[in-house]
Amino acid sequence: MNEKSGFIAFHFLMWALLQFSTVDLHAQNTALEFWPETDIWYRLSPAFRLSAFIPITKYNETKYRDLNVYLQGDYAWGKTRIPFTERLMDELRAQNMKSWMTRAGFMKGWSLGENAGAYSEDQLYAELHRRVPIKGNFLISQRLRNDFRWLGDDNTFSYRLRYRLMVEKEYGSGKASWVPYTSVEPTFDSRYSTVISRLRVIGGTTFSTGKALFYEGNITYQYDSHYDAENMFALNLILHVYFESKKSKQLSEKK
């Protein structure tokens, strides 16, 4: 399968699931959601990167959909104690892993179709990532994120603190590369009195056969006593599209 046919197949699968994801869940306080997403990355240099994430939430029990648009920038620095070749999905080409990364961005979210007006959100967020290679070619990464949120038509302010622990490992064969991973993410939300208001557990993999297009799929389980359904399962399919500036290519080639 070449990149063009993979691109078409990916979007056909997302369209089909959006139209026909009608599985009935009979378990009490359980919901099923579908999250198709397109991520666009643009590397300015080996240290700086810009990106845009465009995910959609499809609620299985209704025809409602939400759309979110993320705009963000990354800066990475530092060396790891154990030399580690960063996976291609992050760097477009193999190069030494940087141990620290910061990210800052803005998100705009709103509901679509029949449910228009039910949900709206503006968000500013900042992240700090620490990446640690260990024996066996595994990578452990920790992320601390702070969300500043303005919700609804009245722009009610709240904030969230989110910590994520993730373990991944890359496998390769020829030009193909796949990276299975798992993560856990507890969240504190200022709107509630509980220390951990939400817990997410994710398992999935990324796959690529080239430099420009990467495919990712995962299953998310979420427990949130303040959500419409306490237990939520989501299928997340992501298309990653990568671009790189001439300056970034030249700097990478010099290394």
Q: What is the CATH number of the domain that holds 185?
A: 2.40.160.40
Structure tokens at 217: 């799929």
Q: Could you give the number of structural domains in the chain?
A: 1
Q: Are strands 30-43 and 231-244 parallel, antiparallel or unpaired?
A: parallel
Average pLDDT over residues 107-136: 89
Residue 23 confidence (pLDDT): 43
Residue type, 95: Q
How confident is residue 114, by pLDDT bands cut at 50, 70 and 90? Answer: confident
Residue type, 150: W
Q: What is the DSSP letter of 177?
A: E
How confident is residue 1, by pLDDT bands cut at 50, 70 and 90? Answer: very low
How confident is residue 11, by pLDDT bands cut at 50, 70 and 90? Answer: low
Cβ-count burial of 2 within 10 angstroms (0-12 exposed, 13-18 middle, 19+ buried)?
A: exposed
Q: Which of 68-77, 109-118, 148-157, 227-236 has the lowest mean pLDDT?
A: 109-118
How confident is residue 64, by pLDDT bands cut at 50, 70 and 90? Answer: confident
- Quote the percentage of the chain above a pLDDT of 70: 79
Structure tokens at 149: 């949120």
pLDDT over 70 (residue 28): no
Domain boundaries, position 83? 3-254
Q: What is the DSSP letter of 136?
A: T
Average pLDDT over residues 67-93: 73
Report the 10 Å Cβ neighbour count for 77. Answer: 11
Distance CA 193, CA 189 (A): 8
Distance CA 166, CA 200 (A): 12
Burial code (b: 16+ CB inside 10 Å, e: under 16) for 88-110 equals bbbbbbeeebbbebebebebebb
| DSSP H helices in the chain | 3-20, 88-91, 246-254
Report the 10 Å Cβ neighbour count for 71. Answer: 13
